[in-house]
Amino acid sequence: VIGLGIPYFQLRLQPPRSPSAARFAQFFKAPFLLRSKSYDLVHSLCYQSVFIEPLIVKTFSKAKYIYTKTNLEWDNHIINWHLKSKLSDRIISISGATDELLTSRGFKEKTTTIPSGIDTDIFTPLKNTTLRQAHKVPEHAIVFGCAAQFVEWKEHLTLIKAFDKLS
C-alpha cells in the first residue's frame, strides 16, 4: 500500500450499477487482469453482499479471498451473503455483534475479529482549532464525525437527538 512499500492492485470485480460501455469493458477484462497478477491474497473493499467478486477470484486465480463484514445486515440478501461468506477463505469482523451474526450463520471458523478497525494506541483524538474557529465551536465541546451509510436502521437520528438533549 502507498507509503508502506506494499504493492497493491485495484480492480473492479463486480458489474457496474449504471450502464456504460467503458465500465462493462473494465468489468469483463478484470478476471483476466486478476489472473495475470498471480496474487496470493485478495482483500475486498466491497462492503456489500455481492458474491460475484469472490466467485471471480476463486475461478480466475489461486488467491485466497478475504472480506470485512462491517455491519449486521444479512437478511436483505441472505443468499448473496451466504455465498460470499462460503466462497471466502477468511472473514474479518469488526465487533462482537458481527462475530455473533457470523457464528449464527455458520461462519465462526472463518471469522477473525479486528475490533473497530482502528488501533487506538496509534490514532488519538485530534484537536483541530482551525475547524473549531471556522464553525465557532468552543474548545471544550465534543466534535463528532461519522463516515457511514445514513440509513434508518443505523439509528443516526437517535444519536443526533441525544446530542441535542446534551447541549
In this structure, the number of other CB atoms found within 10 A of the CB of residue 132 comes to: 14
The full DSSP string for the chain is -TTTT--------S--SS--HHHHHHHHHHHHHHHHHT-SEEE----S---HHHHHHHHH---EEEEEE-S---GGGHHHHHHHHHH-SEEEE-SHHHHHHHHHTT-GGGEEE-GGG--TTT------HHHHHHTT--TTS------S---GGG-HHHHHHHHHHH-
Q: Examine the pLDDT at 53 and tell me if it is beyond 80.
A: yes
DSSP state of 42: E
User: Among 11-15, 62-66, 125-129, 161-165, where is mean pLDDT lowest?
Assistant: 125-129
pLDDT digit string (tens) for 102-149?
Answer: 999 999 999 999 887 566 666 665 555 676 777 787 877 776 666 666
With bands split at pLDDT 50, 70 and 90, how would you rate the model's confidence at 153? Answer: low
pLDDT digit string (tens) for 2-24?
Answer: 566 666 667 777 777 777 888 88
pTM greater than 0.85 (yes/no): no
Residue 99 is predicted with a pLDDT of: 92
Residue 30 is predicted with a pLDDT of: 83
Residue 135 — φ and ψ, nearest 5°?
A: -110, 10
Which range in 41-55, 85-99, 108-122 is most confidently predicted, on average pLDDT?
85-99
Average pLDDT, the chain: 80
